[in-house]
Amino acid sequence: MSGRWRPLTRVGAQVWSLVAVLALVSVGFASLSDRFADLDNLRNVLLQAAPTMIGAVGMTLVIAARGIDLSIGAIANLALALALLGAGTRSEAALATDTTWLVYPIAIASGLALGTLNAVATNVLRLSALITTLGTLTLYRGLGLHITAAGLIAVRGPILAFGRAQLWGIGVPVFAAVLMAVAGWVFLSETPTGRRLLAVGGSPRSAVETGLRTERLLVVAYAASGLCGAIAGLILVGRVGVVNPDLGYGMEFTVITAVVLGGTSLFGGRASMFGTVLASLLLTTIDNGMTLIGADPYAYDVVRGVILLIAVSADAASAHMRSRRSPVIPELRA
Amino acid sequence: MRKAYLQIGLAAALLTAPTAFDAASAKDITIGVSFDKIEPFRVAEKKALTDAIEAAHAKMDFANADKDAQRQASQVDTMVSQGVSAIIAIPWDIEAANDLARSTIAAGIPFVSLDQALSDLKSVTYHIGGDPCADGKVAGEFFVKAAAGKPFKLLELQGGLANDNGIRRSRCLDDALKAAPNITIVAQVPTDWNPQKALDGTENALQAHPDLAGIYAPWNDALQGVFSVLKAKNLLLPVGDPKHITIVSIDGTPLGCKAVRDRLIDLEIATPLPEMSRRAVAAAIKASQGGKIEPQAEFLPGIPYGPDNVKAMASKIWGCQG
């Protein structure tokens, strides 16, 4: 095995645990609902997981660099609001907004710009990313509300295409999510910039002392997160057919849960793109299965909360054990 | 169905009856308005309140708590310290707001809760809101009628489970359905009022139960997500089509009215927003002038209407106007 592909073989224990949990959960739901294992339902799960997966890919890069982006859901909201502002025509009589293909470049450019702004703000203000992106979360959401007048805007035309298109019976967002995850993994494992990003997360001080341009690397990570937020927003709007004030609301928590559950360390320097994908699938599978078996609605949040606690505890215990054995070494797990 | 029309009559009577309060001269009165969040229904509520306050010749000081009980408390405290004459609030946290209401009243400022009832109604000077229980019950009775004694699988989308409207629109629907063992609620999906979750829940429920007969969407914003799924499965069919899935929704927004006019939903229960706002403002002004408010709490049932009577009812439904 060449050194180039070695990261693929270093599948972390947390990823294997996730595979096991996903398999157990799936078997459990399949035994309780004869529809769970249907091909149509698997397609549903993949499609419903796509926005979370894409957002989580961007968040993995940010967290790997010891950052966090609480504004990713607000970016999804504002990027789409800006896209409608630039490429939408409101028809009052139809209670809907017609769109052109320009919504895509505008939303993507907006996502990149808003993510970049997060990095610049973090670099310039020298505040923790938590505080900075908490601020931009409020700012972006406020701007989104202002642009849309906090209304529910039904949309028509090309904006729906991405969320609703299918290829071989599978939603196009699923392919987009897989592509983004592969691209994210290749970036982290195969490019010098990706490795430097992990180094920054592993030890920011060492990274600075060894001459790494940490500020530029953070711009890359946050811009990618913004891009992923905008793409997730495009999928959500394409599927539902409306831009509403709640678009992207709470996305940050789901996405961060997926990243941490997937084995990326909240302390930076360690990332698992494969784990992120699996965790996104697990979270979606739980919601899907709970509905299929007609579970008590009050159980949904309990189950999600328990999973988050387990993930955070496992991550903290693992970080503690590593710190006792050896200093932090940046690594990418498959 | 007869009960539904009785509800229409009752609601219409409420709308035309004189209210308990007369709008007094209010030139020097500023009403502090605190909303729990901003979303399409709240935008409509804000407009209705603005209209009512302007009609009373009072002024409005508005703040949005953006789903944060602490922020709402700070905003109300600030309004009180700035000398507003009364507070009209839609509380975000129906428990925490009890203390907020009591401290506001203790400071000599009347506290009127709108739309969302606090857990302790005695905490406020006056409460006016829709009647989520009556609305849920009307929806349940409609499904019982639509099922006509035959096996009927129903998907129940739920709003916020930590929210009075969300809880009671669900609980009272369930109570009404207890009389009909032929109706099976195949899934209760918590959505936190999010259309995306309504879409996913509908998609999953239809996957498990392709023979789904009804969907309860207790707020209009859910409809777009529901329609997206039904359209993808070629099930978005007009009322009257043999394969049509019976849909009941609540709110009375323009989106809901359009869905009724397009014959895509069977019953819509419109919250009487303008009347709620008018009574809230009248009570706030009267209390700020030392008047006694009776009754202390009022719950106005929604106005049910459907494709067959939307034309006749349009003038009474705020979302059907304009």
CA distance A284 to chain B (A): 10
Q: Does residue A2 fall inside a structural domain?
A: no
**Helix axes A299-325 and A273-292, enclosed angle (nearest 10):** 160
Fold match, B2-130+272-301 / B132-270: yes
Confidence of residue A319 (pLDDT cuts 50, 70, 90): low
Which B residues in the span 256-315 are in contact with A, Cβ-Cβ below 8 Å? 258
Q: Are the C-beta atoms of residues A72 and A59 closer than 8 Å to each other?
A: yes
Rounded to 5 degrees, φ, ψ at B186 are -80, -25
Q: Does residue A157 fall inside a structural domain?
A: yes
Q: Transcribe B143-207 into DSSP letters.
A: HHHHHTTS-EEEEEEE--TTSHHHHHHHHHHHHHHTT-TTEEEEEEEE-TT-HHHHHHHHHHHHH
Whether A214 has a pLDDT exceeding 70, the answer reads: yes
Range with lowest mean pLDDT among A143-147, A321-325, B119-123, B305-309:
A321-325
Could you tell me which of A62, A17, A77, A111 has the C-alpha nearest to residue A259? Answer: A62
B39 touches chain A (CB under 8 A): yes
Interface test with A, best of B42, B191, B203, B253 (most A CBs within 10 A): B203
CA distance B185 to chain A (A): 8
Q: Please give the residue range of the domain that contains residue A157.
A: 10-333
Q: What tokens appear for B273 in the block?
A: 């927003």
Whether A154 has a pLDDT exceeding 50, the answer reads: yes
A287 touches chain B (CB under 8 A): yes
Q: Transcribe B215-273 into DSSP letters.
A: EEESSTTHHHHHHHHHHHTT----TTSTTPPEEEEEE--HHHHHHHHTT--SEEEE--H
Confidence of residue B159 (pLDDT cuts 50, 70, 90): confident
What confidence score (pLDDT) does residue A332 get?
Answer: 55
Confidence of residue A225 (pLDDT cuts 50, 70, 90): very high
Range A308-314, long-range pairs (CB < 8 A, 24+ positions) = A308/A257, A308/A260, A308/A261, A311/A257, A311/A260, A311/A261, A311/A279, A312/A260, A312/A266, A314/A14, A314/A17
The beta strands (E) that lie in A92-144 are given as 96-99
What confidence score (pLDDT) does residue A311 get?
Answer: 63
Q: Transcribe B48-71 into DSSP letters.
A: HHHHHHHHTT-EEEEEE--S-HHH
A169 touches chain B (CB under 8 A): no
Rounded to 5 degrees, φ, ψ at A59 are -70, -30
Residues of A in contact with B223 (CB under 8 A): none
Alpha-helix runs per DSSP H in A241-325: 251-261, 273-292, 299-325
B239 touches chain A (CB under 8 A): no
**Cβ–Cβ contacts within 10 Å for residue A211, how many?**
7
CA distance B172 to chain A (A): 16
Indicate yes or no: CB of B255 within 8 angstroms of CB of A95. Answer: yes
**Residue B304: helix, strand or coil by DSSP?**
strand
What confidence score (pLDDT) does residue B21 get?
Answer: 46
Domain count, chain A: 1
Cα separations in angstroms, A14 against A86, A325, B194 = 44, 18, 32
**Cβ–Cβ contacts within 10 Å for residue B243, how many?**
7
What confidence score (pLDDT) does residue A93 get?
Answer: 57
Kindly identify which residue of chain B lies nearest to residue A153, measuring between CA atoms: B40
**Cβ–Cβ contacts within 10 Å for residue B195, how many?**
28
Q: Are the C-beta atoms of residues B268 and B247 closer than 8 Å to each other?
A: no
Q: Which DSSP category does B117 fall into?
A: P
Q: Are the C-beta atoms of residues A115 and A225 closer than 8 Å to each other?
A: yes
What confidence score (pLDDT) does residue A107 get?
Answer: 97
Question: What amino acid is encoded at B146 in this protein?
Answer: A
Nearest to B40 among A152, A239, A298 (CB): A152
B68 touches chain A (CB under 8 A): no
Could you tell me which of B225, B262, B277, B268 has the C-alpha nearest to residue B249? Answer: B268
Could you tell me which of B254, B198, B248 has the C-alpha nearest to residue B226? Answer: B198
Using only C-alpha atoms, what is the Rg of chain A? 20
Sequence-distant (≥ 6) Cβ neighbours of residue A234 within 8 angstroms: A80, A103, A104, A107, A159, A162, A163
Nearest to A288 among B199, B204, B225 (CB): B204
What residue spans define the domains of chain B? 2-130+272-301, 132-270
Question: What amino acid is encoded at B64 in this protein?
Answer: N
Indicate yes or no: CB of B190 within 8 angstroms of CB of A300. Answer: yes
**Cβ–Cβ contacts within 10 Å for residue B101, how many?**
25
Q: Does residue A164 fall inside a structural domain?
A: yes
Kindly identify which residue of chain B lies nearest to residue A237, measuring between CA atoms: B196
Q: What tokens appear for B35 in the block?
A: 């909303």
Indicate yes or no: CB of A164 within 8 angstroms of CB of B232. Answer: yes
Sequence-distant (≥ 6) Cβ neighbours of residue A251 within 8 angstroms: A51, A52, A55, A72, A73, A76, A229, A232
Nearest to A292 among B43, B158, B204 (CB): B204
Confidence of residue A323 (pLDDT cuts 50, 70, 90): low
Q: What tokens appear for B161 in the block?
A: 């489970």
Residues of B in contact with A151 (CB under 8 A): 40, 43
pLDDT in tens, B10-49: 444 444 443 444 444 566 899 999 999 888 888 889 999 9
Q: What are the beta bridge partners of residue A272?
A: A333
Q: What tokens appear for B150 in the block?
A: 């035959």
What confidence score (pLDDT) does residue B15 get?
Answer: 43
Per-chain mean pLDDT for chain B:
89
Nearest to A44 among B38, B161, B207 (CB): B207
Indicate yes or no: CB of A242 within 8 angstroms of CB of B207. Answer: no
Q: Are the C-beta atoms of residues B185 and B151 closer than 8 Å to each other?
A: no
Indicate yes or no: CB of B188 within 8 angstroms of CB of A297. Answer: yes
What confidence score (pLDDT) does residue B294 get?
Answer: 87
What confidence score (pLDDT) does residue A150 get?
Answer: 82
What confidence score (pLDDT) does residue B13 get?
Answer: 45
Pairwise CA distance, residues B304 & A186, whole Å: 57
CATH superfamily of the B2-130+272-301 domain: Response regulator (3.40.50.2300)
Whether A3 has a pLDDT exceeding 50, the answer reads: no
What confidence score (pLDDT) does residue B22 get?
Answer: 46
What confidence score (pLDDT) does residue B215 get?
Answer: 97
Pairwise CA distance, residues A293 & A271, whole Å: 34
What confidence score (pLDDT) does residue B249 get?
Answer: 97
What confidence score (pLDDT) does residue A31 get?
Answer: 92
Whether B7 has a pLDDT exceeding 90, the answer reads: no
Report chain A's terminal Cα–Cα distance, integer Å.
15
Range with lowest mean pLDDT among A44-58, A183-197, A288-302, B292-306:
A288-302
The predicted model gives B273-288 an average pLDDT of 94
Pairwise CA distance, residues A109 & A122, whole Å: 20
The predicted model gives B98-102 an average pLDDT of 94
Indicate yes or no: CB of B228 within 8 angstroms of CB of A239. Answer: yes
CA distance B194 to chain A (A): 7
Residues of A in contact with B194 (CB under 8 A): 246, 249-250
Q: Is the ipTM of this complex over 0.85?
A: no
Could you tell me which of A254, A210, A206, A205 has the C-alpha nearest to residue A229? Answer: A254
Residue whose structure tokens are 């004030």: A245
B233 touches chain A (CB under 8 A): no
Pairwise CA distance, residues B239 & B143, whole Å: 14
Q: What tokens appear for A69 in the block?
A: 């982006």
What's the 3-state SS for A235-261? HHHHHHCEECCCCCCCHHHHHHHHHHH
Find out if CATH 3.40.50.2300 is the number for domain B132-270: yes
A168 touches chain B (CB under 8 A): no
Pairwise CA distance, residues B164 & B120, whole Å: 12
Indicate yes or no: CB of A245 within 8 angstroms of CB of B38. Answer: yes
CATH code for the domain in which residue A197 is found: 1.10.3470
Pairwise CA distance, residues A295 & A156, whole Å: 35
pLDDT in tens, A107-147: 999 999 999 999 999 888 888 889 999 999 999 999 998 99
What confidence score (pLDDT) does residue A326 get?
Answer: 56
The predicted model gives A298-313 an average pLDDT of 74
Whether B73 has a pLDDT exceeding 50, the answer reads: yes
What confidence score (pLDDT) does residue A322 get?
Answer: 63
Confidence of residue B66 (pLDDT cuts 50, 70, 90): confident
Nearest to B193 among A33, A149, A246 (CB): A246
Q: What are the beta bridge partners of residue B31?
A: B60, B86
Indicate yes or no: CB of B188 within 8 angstroms of CB of A296. Answer: yes
Kindly identify which residue of chain A lies nearest to residue B230, measuring between CA atoms: A240
pLDDT in tens, B183-215: 999 999 999 888 999 999 999 999 999 999 999
Whether A6 has a pLDDT exceeding 50, the answer reads: no
